[in-house]
Chains A and B, each alone.
Chain A
């Protein structure tokens, strides 16, 4: 069997398969409208993930200059939309107050600061959404740190300390040899100066979430389309009886599989181009290493199309195929790391998420695009996708060859 004859056979199947999609105007509209639309939708949804304007209240029971300053500083941050509420004296009822967070400055807070034993501020958070609650708490800690770092607090805590020291101490200090004095100075400074970090953010210096989430958006849309479309192809033929007709031709199983995959691969590659275009021109996402990204996309698509085909070969009707596709796709959404790092998942679940092509696609895509990493960092994910493509397509061919159509 020469290559030309194999290619002709594959081409016959590919042309036929393409015509099925081309003639189905509704599917065609779905394919060409949904990806750019979803990219815009998800893009806007994930462009800014910082929580802003969370309704919150400060209940100031201290009522001093100090507490007013704190309230003023907090008011400048956009995370919270502060409103003033009446203080009933009891713990704030968030639901009734219509806020997501309440900060209570306790009575005599300033005095405790001055006494060097600062009383804790009370923060009440709505924990329904655990992630947001954690984030708000962190944000507030940060703000308190800012406040503390400001000079007035330094003055408040350090100055009284110095004033209370007996004057003899200074004489003792003066009489110390130079070396000892500078040692003491350093020790004292260590005591009163807060530690600082000099942070430099690498790979995604703007901390743009959209840059992080772009492969997730591309992968999710493409996975959804490829798996569902592909899942119908063989099942449809089985349902309508054309599969028997196909099987009595001298077409080899692999020729059928490749012929069926090719048109969808072409369509998907085009759609990835569209999605990347929208991400780049509309959301300003930059793409590095185009060749590497191209290989990652190609392998991911083959793997994804293969999964769809495997489902299709296994199912007897299109209805079954769609059900299987949905149940295959469902865990992929939360577990693939498309929108949140899989590092957040517990170990056992992370193991499961490793079997999804989308997980490896996102990993590899971020490596190549954000971290500008070379091939050695991506090889593992590429290998997984390549093996996945071979196993799923081969599996589909194997089922076809065993079929009692």
Chain B
């Protein structure tokens, strides 16, 4: 249990002059749900594809259970399951046929495949759909089937590339419940996502920006890494208020949260004191203010925008 299941050592991928992954170094212990976060094009998918042996690293190394992800790629393929960003099952095969195919491809012995299929169908709530063509399923069911296909050989590690993008909240919930279940049973999960509520459910998250790993911490530690609580103002009318606050000196950004303006500023206490003395926006009506705990959305904003002055956590 002690040695990490995934190790990255200066893993780099360059496409010409574009560096998709820039000297990534980190390790992920067994049994974690690791959330890999970053904006589109930050290098999440490239990193995952390198770990899956689909793309050759330009330099550096990645290891899964001690085996090199490129040179030993044929040997490590039975050790993980992979759910791609795009639906990539066979639409002209039924649910069962897809599962049977991947079972065969992953060399699941015949005797164990049949009971395994029943377990997965039940787990994914796909028993009634077992004879339907995969192409006819709804988006959420397709994703559940993709997950089932990736799990058919009971791998110790699971890669998921934005598994919930485009899913309705019910299916997102269902998928995450399944991931939790897998996590509690010891499966390591490496998942990329844009959804911060999902990041919150991970045991650890890593932020990438422009191919670089900025930080890797537990969600709790990340939220605690803000130097202070965030200032939230109730102002009317709120939309012009956001525009005005964003341009105010000392304010990095302002976002709308439940009808209030949340401020990102290096010294919010001083701003509040100044404004209480002299409110600089005569057209806007200040109703109240509040101090709130930062959530993952704020963490993501701070890391992806590079608001280092808000944080007292050293970068990875």
Residues of A within 8 A of B (CB): 5, 8-9, 11-13, 15-16, 19-20, 23-24, 240-242, 244-252, 404-405
A288 to B54 CA separation, bound complex (whole angstroms): 51
Residue of B with least CB distance to A249: B105
Taking A8-B107, A242-B89, A250-B74 as given, write out 19 further A-B residue pairs in contact, using a Cβ cutoff of 8 Å, ordered by the A residue number. A12-B105, A13-B105, A15-B100, A19-B92, A20-B90, A20-B93, A23-B93, A24-B92, A240-B91, A241-B88, A244-B82, A244-B84, A245-B102, A247-B53, A249-B106, A250-B77, A250-B106, A404-B54, A404-B56
| Contact assessment for A248 and B90 in the assembled complex, using a CB-CB cutoff below 8 Å | no
Residue of A with least CB distance to B101: A16
A14 to chain B, nearest CB (A): 10
Can you spell out 10 A-B residue pairs with CB atoms less than 8 angstroms apart?
A16-B101, A20-B90, A24-B92, A244-B82, A244-B88, A245-B88, A245-B102, A246-B105, A248-B54, A248-B80
A289 to B105 CA separation, bound complex (whole angstroms): 40
Which of A8, A242, A247 is the one whose CB lies under 8 Å from B54? A247
B113 to chain A, nearest CB (A): 10
Residues of B within 8 A of A (CB): 49, 52-56, 74, 77-78, 80, 82, 84, 86-93, 97, 100-107, 110, 149
B69 to chain A, nearest CB (A): 11
Which of B52, B56, B87, B110 is the one whose CB lies under 8 Å from A248? B52
Given A12-B105, A250-B105: A245 and B84 within 8 A (CB)? yes
For A404, list chain B residues within 8 Å (CB).
54-56
A136 to B207 CA separation, bound complex (whole angstroms): 84
For B102, list chain A residues within 8 Å (CB).
245, 249
Residue of A with least CB distance to B93: A19
| Contact assessment for B106 and A11 in the assembled complex, using a CB-CB cutoff below 8 Å | no
Residue of A with least CB distance to B53: A248
A159 to B88 CA separation, bound complex (whole angstroms): 93
When A and B form their complex, what is the total count of cross-chain residue pairs whose Cβ atoms lie within 8 Å? Answer: 78
A241 to B102 CA separation, bound complex (whole angstroms): 15
Which of A20, A24, A240 is the one whose CB lies under 8 Å from B88? A240
Residue of B with least CB distance to A246: B105
A-B pairs with lowest CB-CB distance, top 10: A12-B104, A241-B88, A249-B105, A250-B77, A23-B92, A248-B82, A245-B88, A16-B101, A241-B86, A242-B88
For B87, list chain A residues within 8 Å (CB).
241
A168 to chain B, nearest CB (A): 101
A11 to B107 CA separation, bound complex (whole angstroms): 11
Which of B54, B74, B86 is the one whose CB lies under 8 Å from A405? B54
For A252, list chain B residues within 8 Å (CB).
74
Most chain B CB neighbours (cut-off 10 Å) among A9, A11, A247, A250: A250
Which of B49, B78, B82, B90 is the one whose CB lies under 8 Å from A16? B90
For A19, list chain B residues within 8 Å (CB).
90, 92-93, 97
For B93, list chain A residues within 8 Å (CB).
16, 19-20, 23
Residue of A with least CB distance to B152: A249
A250 to B87 CA separation, bound complex (whole angstroms): 20
For A11, list chain B residues within 8 Å (CB).
104
For A20, list chain B residues within 8 Å (CB).
90, 92-93
A219 to chain B, nearest CB (A): 30
B133 to chain A, nearest CB (A): 8
A404 to B106 CA separation, bound complex (whole angstroms): 21
A276 to B107 CA separation, bound complex (whole angstroms): 40
For A9, list chain B residues within 8 Å (CB).
104-105, 107
A391 to chain B, nearest CB (A): 23
| Contact assessment for B84 and A241 in the assembled complex, using a CB-CB cutoff below 8 Å | yes
B255 to chain A, nearest CB (A): 35
| Contact assessment for A8 and B77 in the assembled complex, using a CB-CB cutoff below 8 Å | no
A103 to chain B, nearest CB (A): 65
For B82, list chain A residues within 8 Å (CB).
244-245, 248
A19 to B90 CA separation, bound complex (whole angstroms): 10
A5 to B78 CA separation, bound complex (whole angstroms): 14
For B54, list chain A residues within 8 Å (CB).
244, 247-248, 404-405
B59 to chain A, nearest CB (A): 16
Most chain A CB neighbours (cut-off 10 Å) among B82, B90, B97, B100: B90
Given A244-B84, A248-B52, A252-B74: A8 and B110 within 8 A (CB)? yes
